[in-house]
Chain A
Amino acid sequence: MPVISLPYRYLERLCGIDRKTIIEHLPMIGSDIERILDEQVDVEFFPSRVDLYSTEGVARAMRGFLGLEIGEEVYSVTPSSITFSIDPNLTDIRPYLASAVIRGLTLDNEAIISLMGVQEALHWVVGRGRAKVAIGVHDLDKVTPPFRYYGAPLSRSFVPLDFDREMTLAEIMHEHPKGRDYSHIVKDKPLMPLIEDAHGNVLSFPPIINGELTRVTEASKNLLLDVTGTDQRAVMTALMVLCTSLITAGGRCESVAVQGTVMPDLSPTLRTIDITSCNRLLGTSFSADEIVHILKKMRYGAEKTDEKTISVRIPCYRADIMHEWDIFEDVAIGAGFSTLNAELPATFTIGCEHPIVARLAAVREICCGLGYLEVMPFTLSNEDVMYTRMQRAPDLRALHVLHPISEEQTLVRTDLLPLLLDLLRINKRRELPQRIFHAGDVVYSGKTCQKLALASTHPGADFTESYATADALIRELGVSYTQKESNDPAFIPGRAVDIIIGGEKIGTFGEIHPQVLNMFDIDQPVAGIELDLSLLFSGERETKY
């Protein structure tokens, strides 16, 4: 989630209250306070609430929440003669563009920082790292309408932001820092998206970089916004969030005709909510009037239609309102979670352990009774620990992760004994004897199964000990077995046994091969046992989900 910096001076000015009250109430409108600094507070807002990604947006919500100013903000858009054309060649490249003009701003440094902050946050959350949506903000007075958004060849050149020379689009993609960050989004396209004015001045090379020409400074009064992207709805959301926060900052919005469509439309969306449904979901008994008041605190427009329904005007920047429950949640937030009494329902059910988990608990009891200490190793492992050090051939049924994060975790474990040996290595300086076990999930052939492994190390650990322990263990598991000499290379030849139950091999025990001990850097002999419990728990072999 993006972290937004809220400068106190600007925030206090917009909210009309002191910073202490603001900080106190921030968590209750849905944010995590990251850090409180001398000049600003850094907060994280939920990705759904993109309207809170600017100081202006937070101030708007805070004033409502504290009852200083309730109800919806009304945004008027006056028509302008500015137009935008969209080149049909961009249909398969970056088809959507939305635009608006904001006039009459007096931007101080804090307002510019806030503007850049909301832009970055929108790029990240709505724009998916600019792939889906990218935003350009320009000094309108430096360029001449009409504007065109079209597909340009790589040879086209202009002076990008932060540079003092013309560069071709190809050069920008390779040499400009933003080019290196974002060129992957368009690099395989036949043409590059570009925005030009009537005289061929370049405003922007979306989604990578604006032109130096239209840089926004404290002297800028009138702004042109461009939002380009691959998803119409997301593009419009970003535009509306930007426009409304700039209006709150003191600007006037003018429309732009984009390929004939006049935008932005900053009017609210209408929804009618049912009071009974709301109270039933929240477990409350609010009256229609109470809900209307709470919704106004949450900056909705709301009027009682009758005692059962409320007509709600949802501000255009509330892209997160998809369902009436989203509004019900705001009723709960507006009322304050602390005012809702926690209460258990009368639902009657009987608790029931999962049979596999219950079996694992029983297996743990047996192992503890045998004097073994439980350990809980990771389920992610690698070929080296799982097979190479065990002198075993890689298990072809093992599940490999496609993009491992390190060489330590490349696959899901198929066995447990190697992980116990690795734990004995970690604990080689600890007092002997050490007897450890683990019962848990392994995955092979895509199936989650359960295995059990035990390992004992001390100067006298030997085949006889593993035999006696395995014998007792299997007896306690309530089954009988036959033994067959094992050729598992992890054990010393002639000192290893395959456990056969019902004609099927379900495990192996014996004395670990000294070569394996060397590979694991263990100095003492080890007696080891491993069983596939899922083969034993017949009837519960398959997990349902």
Chain B
Amino acid sequence: MQLTLNEKRLLLELAQVGTTTPEEMGTKLDRPAESIIQYGGLLSQKGLAEVVRHVNKAISLTQEGAQYLTEGLPERQLYNSFGNSASIAELNSHPYAKIGLGWMKRLGWVRIEAGMVIKNGHAAPSPLEIGLADPKSAPAEVTKELIKRGLATEEETVRYTISITDAGKKLVAYGLSLTEETGTLSADQISSGAWKTLTLRRYDITKHPRPIWPGKKHPYQRMIDEMRRILLDMGFTELYGSIVQGAFWNFDALFQPQDHPAREMQDTFHLSGKQELPEGWERVRDMHESGGDTTSTGWGGRWDPEKAKATVLRTHTTSLSIQHLAAHPSPPVKAFCVGRVYRREAIDPTHLPEFEQLEGIVMDTNVNFRNLLGYLKEFYGRMGFESVRFRPGYFPYTEPSVEPEVYIEDLGWVELGGAGIFREEVTAPWGITCPVLAWGLGVSRVAMLRMGLSDLRDLYQSDIDWIRNMPVIEGGRS
């Protein structure tokens, strides 16, 4: 049990006298009585002493009461001011006429007959007069009346007694050291070596501190960085680019037919202004119209360069991947991007008009579909998804396409992204002759699964307390 020096000194004194008052102890220990009460309180919390609070009520006369004690109460003064009888008119000239007359009647000292006040012949001291003379022994109702008439007041006085308990005695018998204890160490105590002679007070470690909140990254950014780390470790180059793109790179270069509904205003955020078409756009046109120099039939119809000049907020980061490939058509290329993408969707708990997408591409001689499955398995495995399976999928710019699913406890197989090999219609216009493996992933969807969120908005309009309480390292030992 940890006792301060003051508590110890008080306890030792108490052991001598058993019971005492704070004043007495204060004198002995050279401390104000209030401090003694405080130390006593601390000791009593530990069961070593007992502090008893005694409340005393004392009645005393007011100035007015004291005056009446010598001069008599108003009714007595009025009674003494006339003979056996007097007219009310006569008595009215007396200063106490009003208050005195009522009391004289109530006490049975006088009666009133035909405008005359007539003494009854006996006027024994009233209970109030007796109480005034000796307020301390007055019965309660008299005391009450005295206070009501403003003749007396009641005062509370509080007194404390402190006594040692058996536990206290035991502790003293066991022995208490009166060495001075130190709380906060001063620089001087440390550097001078004085600390060697000090007793450092032991603190109460059961009390929790007030929480402090360190500055840290957003849990979502931390997850994004974890994904980036994985891809960097796997030898991928990071891409970063404009969120404003031409429809050419966002759609046409990816062999998205020009009448595809996803390109329309309902699904994609269009912006004002036109984007210039890059060099080589004619090859993309030919690919759409007839399959260019490949074995493809193309979509047929006429491809409109004006439609490809529209400006949009990128609907996927694939618009960056294809530009990177167009700029680096020789193998090997391994690149990835984690970036925000935009879809014109109404906000609800699982849909937002903007969210993050991760995308990885691998271009090399002789890479194949099984290699794509290999990358998917490796990536998801490093993300902590041990079981991965593959289903056929469809994306306009990949062939073959695949939808990876991961197994999540309690949820079963969950579709997590899409993948495929870029169609030749996508790669051929840029002179790329090797297969390009590509996969994409909704990062915010992984965040929801990993962080147990039910509403995507919590990632972007976060409750600060949620960020504060998300540990930097998850799943540690408890």
The total number of A-B Cβ pairs within 8 Å is: 262
Inter-subunit contact A353/B238 (CB<8 Å): yes
Closest residue to B400 on the A side, CB-wise? A329
Inter-subunit contact B459/A376 (CB<8 Å): yes
Q: B377: CB under 8 A from chain A? A: yes
Inter-subunit contact B270/A403 (CB<8 Å): yes
Inter-subunit contact B367/A351 (CB<8 Å): no
CA separation between A356 and B394, bound complex, in Å? Answer: 33
Inter-subunit contact A325/B421 (CB<8 Å): yes
Q: Which residues of B contact A329 (CB under 8 A)?
A: 392, 399-401
What size tier do the contact residues of chain B reach? 35 or more
- Of B66-74, B87-95, B218-226, which binds chain A? B218-226
Q: A128-B259, A326-B399, A347-B334 are in contact. Are A373 and B393 (CB under 8 A)?
A: no
Q: Which residues of B contact A545 (CB under 8 A)?
A: 239, 241-242, 249, 319-320, 323-324
Inter-subunit contact B297/A448 (CB<8 Å): no
Q: Which residues of A contact B464 (CB under 8 A)?
A: 373, 375, 423, 427, 430, 434, 436
A444 to chain B minimum Cβ distance, whole angstroms, is 11
Q: Which residues of A contact B236 (CB under 8 A)?
A: 349, 351
CA separation between A93 and B159, bound complex, in Å? Answer: 107
Inter-subunit contact A402/B394 (CB<8 Å): no
A461 to chain B minimum Cβ distance, whole angstroms, is 15
B68 to chain A minimum Cβ distance, whole angstroms, is 58
Closest residue to A320 on the B side, CB-wise? B394
Q: A512: CB under 8 A from chain B? A: no
Inter-subunit contact A322/B374 (CB<8 Å): no
Q: A479: CB under 8 A from chain B? A: no
Closest residue to B262 on the A side, CB-wise? A47
Inter-subunit contact A377/B467 (CB<8 Å): no
- Across the interface, B215 reaches (CB within 8 A) one of A283, A342, A344, A372, namely A372
Inter-subunit contact A283/B218 (CB<8 Å): no
Q: A517: CB under 8 A from chain B? A: no
Q: A36: CB under 8 A from chain B? A: no
Q: Which residues of A contact B371 (CB under 8 A)?
A: 283, 343-345
Inter-subunit contact B332/A348 (CB<8 Å): yes
Which of B301, B334, B376, B392 has the most C-beta atoms of chain A within 10 angstroms of its own C-beta? B392
- Across the interface, A322 reaches (CB within 8 A) one of B221, B296, B415, namely B296
Closest residue to A344 on the B side, CB-wise? B374
CA separation between A29 and B239, bound complex, in Å? Answer: 34
CA separation between A482 and B355, bound complex, in Å? Answer: 38
Q: A333-B392, A378-B354 are in contact. Are A280 and B232 (CB under 8 A)?
A: no
Inter-subunit contact B295/A323 (CB<8 Å): yes
Q: B105: CB under 8 A from chain A? A: no
Inter-subunit contact B402/A348 (CB<8 Å): no
From DSSP, what is the main secondary structure of chain B's interface residues?
mixed
Q: B83: CB under 8 A from chain A? A: no
Closest residue to A352 on the B side, CB-wise? B237
B407 to chain A minimum Cβ distance, whole angstroms, is 14
Inter-subunit contact B368/A403 (CB<8 Å): no
Inter-subunit contact B270/A402 (CB<8 Å): yes
Q: A190: CB under 8 A from chain B? A: no
Q: A30-B392, A347-B364, A371-B214 are in contact. Are A364 and B221 (CB under 8 A)?
A: yes
Chain B proximity mask over A11-30: 1 for CB below 8 Å, otherwise 0:
00000000000000001111
Inter-subunit contact A401/B435 (CB<8 Å): no
Q: A352-B232, A399-B244 are in contact. Are A409 and B237 (CB under 8 A)?
A: no
- Of B161-169, B195-203, B344-352, which binds chain A? B344-352
Q: Which residues of B contact A441 (CB under 8 A)?
A: 243, 340
- Across the interface, B394 reaches (CB within 8 A) one of A47, A280, A374, namely A47
Inter-subunit contact A543/B241 (CB<8 Å): yes
Chain B proximity mask over A402-438: 1 for CB below 8 Å, otherwise 0:
1101101100100000000001001100110011100
Tell me the A residues contacting B by CB distance below 8 Å: 27-30, 32, 46-49, 128-129, 132, 231, 233, 271, 280-284, 322-326, 328-329, 332-333, 337-338, 340-345, 347-354, 356-357, 361, 364, 367-380, 399-403, 405-406, 408-409, 412, 423, 426-427, 430-431, 434-436, 441, 443, 446-448, 543-545
26 pairs, A vs B, C-beta closer than 8 Å: A27-B391, A46-B392, A47-B394, A49-B394, A128-B261, A323-B295, A323-B424, A325-B424, A340-B369, A340-B373, A345-B367, A349-B235, A349-B332, A353-B238, A367-B215, A368-B214, A368-B217, A376-B462, A379-B354, A402-B271, A405-B345, A423-B464, A427-B463, A448-B241, A543-B240, A543-B241
Other CB < 8 Å A-B pairs besides A322-B296, A368-B216, A402-B272, 16 of them?
Answer: A49-B394, A271-B295, A283-B370, A284-B370, A332-B400, A333-B392, A343-B371, A343-B374, A345-B374, A351-B231, A352-B232, A354-B240, A405-B344, A406-B347, A543-B240, A545-B320
